[in-house]
Amino acid sequence: MQEYWEIYMKNIDGHIASVLFNAGISIEIEDIKYSYPMIAFVKVKLKEPNKRGLLSSGEEAEIFYLEDKLEASLIKFRIGKYVGRVISNGYVTFLYYLQFTYNWDDFLEFALNEHQSYEITSGYKDDNEWNYYKNLLYPTPTEWQIIQNHKVCDALKSKGDDLSTPRAIEHKIFFTSQNSQKDKLIQQLKQNGFKIQKKIKNSDGYEGILFYRKDKPFYTDIDDITLFLIDLSESYNASYDGWETSVVKS
């Protein structure tokens, strides 16, 4: 199985949540889901969550050590795969897909024997369609866009950009349907201050447009812009395909 981890924030049942998940495993689900048909969880009540119900710096070391012990135990007893972690509302929940459960108690005893001071619950149930992974851990298209936005912002910052200076930010939209309302979409973009640069095509042969507007690429600013463009694109049978810009040093 491939190991490629991502972390992002989302809202779960009205509470902010930090979600860590193995994105690499997503391309293998159809091949492995019947070999790992059960979802399992280990849920730990945090002793000192921060004001948002997330992990505080004072408790990080112990929780991450507990996480490592769980993974070591998973490998020792060879019962499944670690697929993600959710921290929300004062709890951290570790999620696994299991091949079998006959030594589940041995797995727990080995992993948790040094963490008796924590309130911990655990369990497992059938999930051979991997719905927990798909619907809880895996990001929606909007959440994926925010993940990519923040990666670009981090890359700009690493090059000395403070992200607060407006500059031309280029965007791409592709028309995925013959029934797309291209002209109406272009008109909406122009009304919102975007300048159309040129027509383009992607590797699959779909036509699209490259356009830009002068904006700040700060995290929250670019999130608002891209989420607006995603909604606008979908309303005209098109697909937003990301953004790029140049580094501007302060």
**Per-residue pLDDT tens over the stretch 28-51:** 999 999 999 999 999 999 999 999
Distance between alpha carbon 124 and the CA centroid of its chain, in Å? 24
Give the mean model confidence (pLDDT) for residues 233-249: 93
Please provide the CATH number assigned to the domain covering 141-245: 3.30.70.970
pLDDT at 120: 97
How high does pLDDT run on average in the chain? 94
pLDDT at 180: 66
**Per-residue pLDDT tens over the stretch 176-187:** 876 668 899 999
Residue 188 pLDDT > 80? yes
pLDDT at 1: 58
Own/partner long-range contacts of 14-18 (Cβ < 8 Å, ≥24 apart): 15/53, 15/88, 15/89, 16/52, 16/53, 16/54, 16/88, 17/86, 17/87, 17/88, 17/89, 18/54, 18/55, 18/86, 18/87, 18/88
CA distance 69 to 110: 8
Domain pair 5-137 / 141-245, same fold: yes
Helix axes 219-235, 141-158, angle to 10 degrees: 140
pLDDT at 132: 97
Of 81, 224, 77, 249, the closest CA to residue 160 belongs to 249
pLDDT at 38: 97
What are the phi and psi torsion angles at 54 (to 5°)?
-100, 180
Give the mean model confidence (pLDDT) for residues 7-11: 92
**Per-residue pLDDT tens over the stretch 55-79:** 999 999 999 999 999 999 999 999 9
Q: How many CB atoms lie under 10 A from the CB of residue 34?
A: 9
Give the mean model confidence (pLDDT) for residues 18-35: 94
Name the β-bridge partners of 245: 169
Instruction: List the chain domain ranges.
Output: 5-137, 141-245
The domain defined by 5-137 folds into Alpha-Beta Plaits (3.30.70)
